[in-house]
Amino acid sequence: MTARVLVADDEPGMRDTVREILEAAGYEVVVASDGDEALARLGHGHFDVVLLDLRMPGRDGLSVLRTLGEARPTVIIMTAYALEDQLQAVGAKAFAVLHKPVPVPHLLDVVGPAAGKAA
Amino acid sequence: MAQERLAAIGELAAAVGHELRNPLGVLGNVVYLLRSRLGGGDPWAAEKLRTAERELAAATLIVADLLEFARPRPPVAAPHHLPGLVDEVLSVAPPPDSVRVETGWPAELAPVAVDRDQLRQVLLNLVTNAYEAMPAGGVVTLNAERQPAAVRLTVADTGAGMDDETRRRLFEPFYTTKTKGIGLGLAVARRIVEAHGGALTAESRPGAGAAFTLTLPSSPPVEEPDR
């Protein structure tokens, strides 16, 4: 079965290119432009993996991660900011923390096992 | 006062660096998508895309070096295989047409415990320095060897080599002999490697190329070392 991935990023260029890359790799992708939209999408469908940008207007990625609780999909944090964000995210049990700019082979290397873990 | 100004400039540079990470990421994604659509059948497009990838890697490296210098980050290490990381670096920063890359990996090379982003930054610095040391073309050789409890990687070029002063000052921040670049790459690379419990050294003579040797502690084997 095709893995479903939610990509939540407020930057349209990032969101749309990541969506296209993951779709070309065989994933079914849904996008959200902020944390509230991400939570709304997550409330109305099953997702195997969520790619969450940390800094978004309104509800940010870590807030989304905390709201989701234990029965959440596998979460991968993407951030342009380093240490303090990373430690918080690891503490909140994200599957991985990726530092932007993320080379595409690295992104696919991490999303694959994350989708496998969720299956 | 001078110290405060320097700190303020560092903060500003770090803030600008952070802001550039998103657009650099988007550009990298766009080049990847263009390559998947155009790169295979059209040699002209493939060559332009390689140039775009190299320049993007150079810009990304400047930002990464600046941020690592301004706000050093302790490594978050996990087991990784060096050949996979080197392949990734060569795909992100492909060699110019006049440069050939040769690699030599021993069988059953142990994984190393490294922060993947930071080691990629070190390897990008070494590989792009080697390209730039050979403007008229040449060969970059990457050879790994097993050591007791460590892995040693040598990155060698066939460029013009270095004089004594350059070799002595090579790892000083802001020291550079290049017409472009800010002179932070090797200083940051050595700091990252040492933060991993490893070592980075250089050997060179005028006219005889340069060889950088990276030694990293090996990691106990695990089931899936490359995630």
A113 at B interface, C-beta within 8 A: yes
Across all residues in chain A, what is the average pLDDT? 87
Does residue A60 register a pLDDT over 90?
Answer: no
pLDDT at residue B224, rounded to an integer: 47
CB atoms within 10 A of CB B111: 20
pLDDT at residue A7, rounded to an integer: 97
pLDDT over 90 percentage in chain B: 53
Per the model's pLDDT, the better-predicted residue between A59 and B153 turns out to be B153
Q: How far is CA B143 from CA B103, B105, B167, B215, in A?
A: 6, 6, 21, 12
Substitution target from B18, B19, B30, B32 for chain A, most A beta carbons within 10 A: B32
A102 at B interface, C-beta within 8 A: yes
Q: DSSP letters of A73-119?
A: PEEEEEESS-HHHHHHHHHTT-SEEEESSPPHHHHHHHHHHHHHHH-
Give how far A111 is from chain B: nearest CA, Å: 10
Its pTM stands at 0.80
Of B21, B30, B36, the CB nearest to A80: B21
Residues in A touching B26 (Cβ below 8 Å): 11, 13-14, 17
pLDDT over 90 percentage in chain A: 55
Q: Is B104 exposed, middle or buried (0-12, 13-18, 19+ CB in 10 A)?
A: exposed
A94 at B interface, C-beta within 8 A: no
Query: Residues of A58-80 as b/e, b for ≥16 C-beta within 10 angstroms?
Result: ebbbbbbbeebeeebbbbbbbbb
Does residue A96 register a pLDDT over 60?
Answer: yes
Give how far B209 is from chain A: nearest CA, Å: 30
Residues in A touching B36 (Cβ below 8 Å): 24
As given in the structure block, the two tokens for residue B32 are 């990847």
Query: Which chain B residue's Cα is nearest to A102?
Result: B25
Q: What mean pLDDT do residues B190-206 have?
A: 95
Would you say B119 and B135 are in contact if contact means Cβ atoms under 8 Å apart? Answer: no
Task: Please report the ipTM that was assigned to this predicted complex.
Answer: 0.90
Does residue A92 register a pLDDT over 90?
Answer: no
B8 at A interface, C-beta within 8 A: no
